[in-house]
């Protein structure tokens, strides 16, 4: 048993990438003691100055470390702050949203998706699988376009003008016969989404599928995510559509309220 345990420990240890561990150690050291130079960092970490210098140069080029050229000292860079902001935002969403997503799934029987915008893409942050035999199920972590899909187009509608302009002036890929690829038509749809406060998408990303999405706001009144339900288009008659819109908007408002209070 002891030999097997030792073998397992050695096997796990073999997966460790030493350079990555050292880079993380640099960031942790600068977080605790900002304003250190190469020599001080090397002494603090027990490494040679040449290794520390290369680590700092790599981290600086990636934006995780910034250098004061006059004093030859280093501190954490802007990308660390961006990561912290992202973790705070997504962490809060993942803390308050799951129970409400479960309620929405149980109420509608449809798939429920929590979607955020990541640059020029939509990202499924969390999902709940529907209860129907025929369902459209997106996996967490799945990336998609911003110009097609219920939550994706909603996030594009509420994105800052520079993001909208970039998407509208880029080639718009067609996913089905219903995907909107004309920039002028898409711009009108985005205006309508903002005016309505929700989005209903039919067959534009996946043939035979619908998606209904509503925005989630933070305490500053910014849209940080979209909440959507998705399923087979054959189930979406007009009464069902109206009921689903109300259900999604209500659930999104509950999440927004919890984010605001939190």
Joined together, the tokens standing for residue 243 give: 């009921």
Cα separation, 126 vs 76, in Å, equals: 30
Cα separation, 152 vs 172, in Å, equals: 14
Residue 133 and residue 216 share a domain: yes
Question: Mean pLDDT, to the nearest integer, of 222-232?
Answer: 95
Q: How far is CA 125 from CA 11, 79, 87, in A?
A: 32, 21, 12
Residue 100 and residue 71 share a domain: no
Q: Is the pLDDT of residue 212 over 60?
A: yes
Q: How many CA atoms lie within 13 A of 141 on its CB side?
A: 0
The per-residue pLDDT for range 69-108, each reduced to its tens digit, is 888 999 988 777 666 656 656 678 888 899 999 999 999 9
Which CATH number covers residue 61? 1.10.10.10
Residue 223 and residue 125 share a domain: yes
Of 76, 95, 128, the one marking the end of a domain is 76
Mean pLDDT score across all residues of the chain: 88
Residue 46 and residue 93 share a domain: no
The per-residue pLDDT for range 139-183, each reduced to its tens digit, is 667 789 999 999 999 999 999 999 999 999 999 999 999 999 999
Please say whether the beta carbons of 188 and 148 come within 8 A. no
Contacts 24+ apart (CB under 8 A), 37-44: 37/71, 37/72, 37/73, 37/74, 38/72, 38/74, 41/74
Closest CA to 157 of 116, 109, 192: 192
Q: How many structural domains is the chain composed of?
A: 2
Residue 90 and residue 72 share a domain: no
Residue 91 and residue 172 share a domain: yes
């Amino acid at each position: 048993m002891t030999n097997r345990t030792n073998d397992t420990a050695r096997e796990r240890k073999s997966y460790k990438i030493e350079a990555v561990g050292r880079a993380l150690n640099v960031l942790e050291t600068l977080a605790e003691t900002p304003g250190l130079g190469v020599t001080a960092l090397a002494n603090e970490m027990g490494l040679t100055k040449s290794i520390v210098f290369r680590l700092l140069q790599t981290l600086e080029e990636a934006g995780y470390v910034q250098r004061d050229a006059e004093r030859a000292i280093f501190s954490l860079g802007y990308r660390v702050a961006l990561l912290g902001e992202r973790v705070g935002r997504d962490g809060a969403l993942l803390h308050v949203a799951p129970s409400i997503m479960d309620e929405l799934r149980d109420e509608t029987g449809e798939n429920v998706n929590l979607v955020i915008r990541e640059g020029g893409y939509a990202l499924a942050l969390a999902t709940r699988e529907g209860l129907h035999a025929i369902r459209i199920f997106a996996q967490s972590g799945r990336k998609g376009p911003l110009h097609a899909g219920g939550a994706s187009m909603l996030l594009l509608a509420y994105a800052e003008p520079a993001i909208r302009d970039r998407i509208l002036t880029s080639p718009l890929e067609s996913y089905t016969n219903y995907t909107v690829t004309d920039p002028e038509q898409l711009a009108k749809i985005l205006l309508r989404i903002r005016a309505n406060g929700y989005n209903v998408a039919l067959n534009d990303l996946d043939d035979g599928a619908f998606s209904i999405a509503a925005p989630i706001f933070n305490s500053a009144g910014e849209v940080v995510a979209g909440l959507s339900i998705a399923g087979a288009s054959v189930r979406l008659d007009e009464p069902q559509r109206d009921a689903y819109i109300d259900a999604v908007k209500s659930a999104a408002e509950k999440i927004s309220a919890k984010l605001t209070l939190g």
